[in-house]
Chain A
Amino acid sequence: MVRFENVGLRYGLGPEVLKDLSFGIEPHSFQFLTGPSGAGKTSLLKLLFLSLRATRGIVTVFDHDTSRLSKDELSVLRRRIGIVFQDFRLLDHLTTYENVALPLRVLGKEEASYRSEVIDLLEWVGLGERIDAYPPILSGGEKQRAAIARAVIVRPEMLLADEPTGNVDPPLAKRLLRLFVELNRTGTAVLIATHDLSLLDQVEARQLVIREGSLTVTDPHHAEAGGW
């Protein structure tokens, strides 16, 4: 699904922030991305989300070499990836419902074809009473749930989440993690970037640990480190 081969990334003429990354994300897999602040987690997420291009190495996403894709082709590929931003990135002038439905609207869907699905999902994430509320009046946790709902509404083949439980209380964090696990069970590959070590304890999953731009992979199922 995703394959990084000797990937390096630098911003402008600065030092490499990611060095020689080689790993893969398989379909239906579940993994955490951890590491200290400033280690390169966000940069790696941006590469995975096709928001940045690697300065060296090969990044293959859904069998496409991303360096050869046009901007529009990257946009189309991005439809198969859901992302949850740490800062939510909700559009303040749209209601919660409209924010969650945004990816479907971009796909050109008629509202009648998705309305009940969006409402069902909002009910599930606990925003059933807030469908007509605008983001500025939502709490941090509500924004987080809306952002997650927007990322999963199209059932992406891969879901990337940047600190998805950073703004919610432990019970809600547990419930959101269960949502990611359920999605993973139905075939979506999930990668969660987090500092929250308690999350790592709740799900036995592969861990990608990034330190100073270099990556170590720990897979509890295969008990090996540093490989694919």
Chain B
Amino acid sequence: MPLLEISGLTHRFAGLCAVSDFNFIIDPHELVGIIGPNGAGKTTVFNLITGVYKATAGSIKLAGRDLVGQTPHTITRSGIARTFQNIRLFRELSVLDNVRIAHYGRMAYTPVEALLHIGRFRAEEKRITDLTLDLLSMFKLDDMANEKAKNLPYGLQRRLEIARALATGPKLLLLDEPAAGMNPNEIIQLMEFIGWIRQTFSVTIILIEHQMRLVMGICERLVVLDFGATIAAGLCAEIQNNPKVMEAYLGVEVAQ
């Protein structure tokens, strides 16, 4: 059974069709890239999957369960986590708290126990803090656990965002332009890093990217969007020589 199955997904904003009739299937452990020029509707697809926007039509099924109409936090709890194109950390909070927040749905104590710090509170807090510190040390961020997120250098902020997403315990990880603002060297490191995450946390990954080098390097399959429509889908090599894709990226004349 596929992990995520999207069919006929359409989203309209004020008459404009941001995404139209998007169909997509991903199996467990795959790594698929979504590419396309600026404004093609890539991030909108992520927003629709995670429930930030409500789809005008179509269905999104995670392991057979329909997600359309659910709130973002229930979707996250059912196993989809994401990062953002422009980093959206909780800037004034510590690195530790940034990641601990991602455990919100799995804390086993009630508000009353929290207000009085009784019952399961202490044990749960200790458990979550230990888990978080372990995760942070895997990401080599544990030395900065008490630093405010906004004080981290850019690269570490990106890393922290991925750590935070993984802390929600996802089956499917959505990465929105993780290479934005990186130089070629860093992109090579990032490729290894994404591969490592996929192995270690055994997650399925959908990657939105601009940088061809990154997607071609690690993705098995690609989907190409332009003006909200899917113009091509398939293995990397097929996409590279597809005239429609070249047209979308480079303009009509070159393609001809």
Does A associate with B in a complex? no
Residue ranges of A at the interface with B (Cβ–Cβ < 8 Å): none
Residue ranges of B at the interface with A (Cβ–Cβ < 8 Å): none
